[in-house]
Amino acid sequence: MLKRFNRYWRVLATGVSFVVFAIGGLILRALVFPLLNLIIWEQQLRRLVARRVIRWVFRCFVGFMRWLGVLDYDVSGLERLERQGLLILANHPTLIDTVFLMAFVKRADCIVKGRLWDNPFTRGPVSAAGYISNGDGSGLVENCITSLRRGSNLIIFPEGTRTAGDGQINLKRGAANIAVRSMSNVTPVVIRCLPPTLGKGVKWWQVPAVAAHFSIEVKDDIDVSAFLTRAGSEVLAARHLTAYLQDYFRKESQVHAAA
């Protein structure tokens, strides 16, 4: 009986969390960011402040979900993020991976889906923070490189979407192209969630039997120049780096699952 009550509570608490997230997005859009527009005229400074606000709000949000008992989490290797101009690549097992990373990465920039610019709950934050739209087409890579050179820590999920239900990680080559063309070492972040929740094709109310535990591990940098040296061209280097990263994230996920 107690286990059943706990599960029902987590279904309710998960729904409350999503409602709070939506309301928070509307408040940021309607009140907070218009106020920033009035106070701070310089665009780049305004974007930096907006990103700090979003980081603080997301940190509070994941803390709120933990307080409700929806989930628990731990973060390791956080000191590796105390730098600027990082290219952070992460696997993408759940719906809220972006929220977790944005909550803990300073000076964060990210690539967001174009439809988020039309969503009333997310349009305000992504616009105010000046995040990069994946609808930028041929200019996407250049926009990412510019962001890195400005000292932003760019977060990319190279799968392009959440990991498939079978757990197989399949990376697209765009993130590797950005790494090679910008000569930016990759800072990999491995996100693990046990038991699985909020995965691809899973409805928000389909909560696991016990509260999910998120483990977020910032790993050592991967040297990109070595791939370019061995391959001899940017195209081949991006291809080899993609294959390496795909194997890397698959192994890291399997090791944890086995443990």
Q: Which DSSP string do the residues of 36-94 spell out, in sequence order?
A: HHHH--SHHHHHHHHHHHHHHHHHHHHHHHHHHTSEEEEEE-GGGGSSSS-EEEE---S
**What span, in angstroms and rounded, lies between the C-alpha atoms of 235 and 249?**
21
Q: Per DSSP, which regions of 114-250 are E strands?
A: 132-133, 153-156, 186-194, 212-218
- Topology of domain 1-255, CATH: Glycerol-3-phosphate (1)-acyltransferase (3.40.1130)
Per-residue pLDDT of the chain in tens (259 residues, 90 and over written 9): 787 889 999 999 999 999 999 999 899 988 999 999 899 989 899 999 999 999 999 999 999 999 999 999 999 999 999 999 999 999 999 999 999 999 999 999 998 887 777 777 777 788 888 999 887 667 899 999 999 999 999 999 999 889 988 888 999 999 999 999 999 999 999 999 999 999 999 999 999 999 999 999 999 999 999 999 999 899 999 999 999 999 999 998 875 554 4
